[in-house]
Amino acid sequence: MDDDPIAEVEDTIRHFLRNEIGPAALETKSDAKLAEVGVDSVKVLRVVVNLERHYQIELEDDVIFRAETLRDLAKTIRALVAGRA
């Protein structure tokens, strides 16, 4: 496992993205715009449901849709998880 907590969250996002867009999700770069890799609003909401369960957090809709890249979403999740500690 990576020592970078953001990278760890990114890997988890990729795992859940794989269910929505296929194996290519595992190769998605951190700065990739989610819309450009085939993640529409329905798919992102499915991924978010899994992420919320996995991390036991709740993401507000406006926060979700402001996240343009995989890294944006990972930073948001990491901040919520860190804020719980």
Residue pLDDT, tens place only, 27-47: 999 999 988 888 888 999 999
* pTM across the whole model: 0.89
Burial state string for 62-76 with b = 16 or more CB within 10 A and e = fewer than 16? ebbeebebbbbbbbb
Give 5-84's CATH code, choosing from 1.10.238.10, 1.10.1200.10, 3.40.50.970, 3.30.390.50. 1.10.1200.10
Please tell me the distance from the alpha carbon of residue 1 to that of residue 44, in angstroms, as a whole number. 25
Sequence-separated (6 or more) residues with CB below 8 Å from residue 43? 20, 21
User: What residues of the chain score a pLDDT lower than 50?
Assistant: 1
